[in-house]
Amino acid sequence: MDPNSVKSTLSNLAFGNVMAAAARDYQKELLAQQKAQPSSSFNEEVDLDELMDDPELEKLHADRIAALKKEAEKREALQRQGHGEYREISEGDFLGEVTGSEKAICHFYHNEFYRCKIVDKHLKSLAPRHLDTKFIKLNAENAPFFVTKLGIKTLPCVVLFRKGIAIDRLIGFQDLGGKDDFTTRTLENVLIKKGIISEKKEDEVEEDDGYPENRRRTVRSSANSDSDSE
């Protein structure tokens, strides 16, 4: 065989091996890149699918739906009992109203007393914010029996009831700074301390405290006395 021919053949074989090796390396690199990209995407899709089918998440979701439904039913039941608004009642309705709810606030008032109107304004604002408690008012002149029974001698008088039992009261503005320009928040805090309403969660507090009437507006009243008397 011609030596030059042999040399050429060997050289061609060596070049072919190098090219084959290079081709294999290139192909490996392409496969590695393809695996890296689709694989990540694929894994994400798999993870999402797994999350969607996660029994623990499904249970949490079901529990949340059940809690919301229960809360809605509770609100409807309370509203049927007269909660969520500040209402006037008659003496004949009094016992049924205060015994028909776990917690109730009754304002004994007089039509001609300015300070009673101040209390009205604040209780009207609080009633829809504290659904667990019933807010009612009763004209003291038209309820002589319960005024006597409860020993009410000064108006405004806000009596706090739990399961129909009078547990505490606010007489005049003694617990509210003794001034007419106290805010709804002040009254709310006093009622929270007395345990007749619950403190609202942070996510339930509305902008501007939810009390538009707190803006420096007051109802004219006697500046000399802490409260009006019957």
Q: Please state whether the predicted TM-score (pTM) of the whole model is above 0.85.
A: no
Concatenating the DSSP letter of every residue in the chain gives: --HHHHHHHHHHHHHHHHHHHHHHHHHHHHHHHHHHHHHHHHHHHHHHHHHHT-HHHHHHHHHHHHHHHHHHHHHHHHHHTTTTSEEEE-HHHHHHHHHSSSEEEEEEE-TT-HHHHHHHHHHHHHGGG-TTEEEEEEEGGG-HHHHHHTT--EESEEEEEETTEEEEEEETTGGGTTSTT--HHHHHHHHHHTTSSPPPPGGGPPGGGG-GGGSS------SS-SSEE-
pLDDT band at 204 (very low <50, low <70, confident <90, very high): low
Span 43-71, mean pLDDT?
Answer: 69
Rounded Cα gap, residues 169 and 164, in angstroms: 14
> pLDDT tens digit string along 118-145?
999 999 999 999 999 999 999 999 999 9
Euclidean distance between CA atoms 225 and 114, whole angstroms? 12
Residues 151/108, Cβ–Cβ less than 8 Å: no
Query: Among 112, 120, 107, which Cα is nearest to 196's?
Result: 107
Task: Report yes or no: 96 and 136 within 8 Å, Cβ to Cβ.
Answer: no
pLDDT digits (tens, 9 = 90+) for 77-120: 776 777 899 999 999 999 999 999 999 999 999 999 999 999 99
Q: Closest Cα partner for 214 from 186, 189, 184?
A: 184
